Amino acid sequence: MTPDAITIDRSFSTGDDAVLRRAYDVHAPLVYTFCRRTVGPEAAHDVTQEVFLAAWRARERFDPSRGTLAGWLIGIAKNKVLDSLRRRQLHLIDDADQPPAVPVGPDHVETTANRMLLAAALAELPDRARHVVELAYLHDLTHDQIAQRTSLPLGTVKSDIRRGLDRLRRHLDHAHA
């Protein structure tokens, strides 16, 4: 995580409005895009607002030692998305301006959230750690094979993967972290 993101995570639960603005600047693209890919472009606008409002009103409950703010926000977003999809299925919201979407179920919501959080977390890993982790999951290489491929000591490979996976897991929402 960037130093700015770490500061925001630490100060979110006790911060003033300025922290909310910074948290929005950093995390809104992720939340908004997740909403677009689950409830669709039209509903994503309102659902994104609901997510940040709910997060701000419940900010005392965010504990940065248990996971990242991004993961916590996406956890809230999953619930808001599922509520919106349920309301749509029951025709409790006016769908006149929303084109009928491909049926989206809870599994799709869950896997989309995990993939997007992990993709963001991967990009934030240091280069060497990311390279080693990718060799492990993309190519299914063993520690020995990775050490040979990268010319890194075996011990370095093992600890890079261990720490890398631990950091990635921290980025998932609090249910997984």
Partner 1 sequence: MPDDPLHEPNDADLLGMLRGITAGDRVLDVPPASIWTGIERAVRADRPTSAAGAATTPPAGFGRAEPARFADAARRRPRGRLLAAAAAVAVLAGIVGVVTSRTDRAGTVQIAAAQLSSAGLPGAPAGLTGDAKVIERGGKEYLHIDAARIVPKSGEYLELWLIDTNVKGMVSLGIVDRGGDYELPRGLRYTDYPIVDISSEPYDGQPTHSGDSLLRGKLV
The footprint of partner 1 (CB under 8 A) covers: 16-22, 24, 28-33, 36, 45-46, 48-50, 52-53, 56-57, 83, 86-87, 89-94, 111, 114-116, 118-120, 122-123, 133, 136-138, 140-144, 158, 162, 165, 168-169
Structure tokens at 76: 């809230």
Specify the residue, 5 or 28, whose C-beta has the smaller distance to partner 1: 28
Q: How far is the CB of 36 from partner 1 (least distance, A)?
A: 6
Specify the residue, 3 or 100, whose C-beta has the smaller distance to partner 1: 100
Specify the residue, 104 or 120, whose C-beta has the smaller distance to partner 1: 120
Q: How far is the CB of 57 from partner 1 (least distance, A)?
A: 7
In sequence order, the 6+-apart residues with CB closer than 8 A to the CB of 141 are 135, 149
Judging by beta carbons within 10 Å of its beta carbon (0-12, 13-18, 19+), is residue 77 exposed, middle or buried? Answer: buried
Q: How far is the CB of 151 from partner 1 (least distance, A)?
A: 19
Q: How far is the CB of 127 from partner 1 (least distance, A)?
A: 16
Q: Tell me the one-letter amino acid at 151.
A: S
Q: What gap in Å lies between CA 128 and CA 146, rounded to an integer? A: 12
Structure tokens at 2: 């960037």
Structure tokens at 57: 């009103």
Specify the residue, 18 or 65, whose C-beta has the smaller distance to partner 1: 18
Is-contact 177 67, C-beta < 8 A? yes
